[in-house]
Structure 1
Amino acid sequence: MNADVSKILNSKVAGSNPAGTASTHAKSKINNRDQELFDRLLKGEIQQGERTPEQHGVRLSQHAAKRLKERAIEMNSSEFYKLREAMDKLRSKGGQDSLVITPTAAYIVDVNNDMIVTAVDKGGLGESVFTKIDSTMVVD
C-alpha cells in the first residue's frame, strides 16, 4: 500500500469522511488493483503455463533485460513472484529505488513503476557498490 492510500485510510478529519466514504473508496481501489493482477495472472497461466513478467505486475527495463541476458540470470515464475512481493512490502514502507537480494541475484528496482532496473548475479556481487537506493530487502 502506498503512502497516499495509507494516509487516506488512516485520516480521521472531522466531517471529511461521512459514513466512511473516503476509506471505502481507497479500499475499493486496492481491491480493484489486486483483482486486476489476479485476473491477469490467471489468464496467463491458463493460456501459456509460464507467466511473463508483466503478468506478475513486474516489468523489465531494457537495461535489466540486457543485463539478465549478459549475466545469464534465469528468472522463473518464482523469482518474479518474490520480486512482486518484495516491491509491495517496500512500497508499504516508503521505498522507491530499492535493492532486492534473492537467493539467485540482486536487483535494483523502481518500486513506484514496478520495474526491475538492473540485475547482478550472486557470483558477481563481490565488492559491488549500489548507489542511489533508499532501501534494501533480503528475500529467501
Structure 2
Amino acid sequence: MRYLLLAIAVLFSAAGTAQESVKETTTKAVEAFLYGASIGAPKAHDRFWAEELTYTSSSGERFGKDHLMSGMKDAKAKNPDNVKVWYGAEDIEVKQFGDTVVFNFTLTAEEEGKVTKYFYNTGVLVHRDGRWQAVNWNATKVP
C-alpha cells in the first residue's frame, strides 16, 4: 500500500512539474513575442502566429496571419533605445489540453515608464516544430 501511495504521489508531482514547465515555456514564448512586437520585428510575428491563425482584434475585426503580416512587409525592427511603447503580460493563466494551451493574460502597454493601456488577451497556442504558436487570438480593451 505504501508503494501505491508513493507511486500516486510521484505521478501527481510529475504532472505538476509538467504543468509548471508548460506555463514557463508558453510564458517565455509570449514574452519573447511581446518584446518582438514592441520593437516592431516582423520575424517575431511570423514565428509566433501560426499559418491558420484567426485573430479577433479589440476593435472587433477578424483576420488571419496573411492580413496581419501584410502590414509589416517592409518593416524593420527598431533599436530598443527608440521604442516608445513596450508590451508586457500580467495575470497569466495557462490551461493545458495536451499539446494545446489556452493562454489568458492582461496585456499592458507601457509608455515612458507608466502603463497606459490594458487589454485582456486570450490565445490558443499549439506546440509544434519545437515551439508554441498561436492559432487563435482575441484581444479586448479593458474599459
- Length-normalised TM-score, structure 2: 0.32
- Higher strand content, 1 or 2: 2
- Higher helix content, 1 or 2: 1
- Length-normalised TM-score, structure 1: 0.33
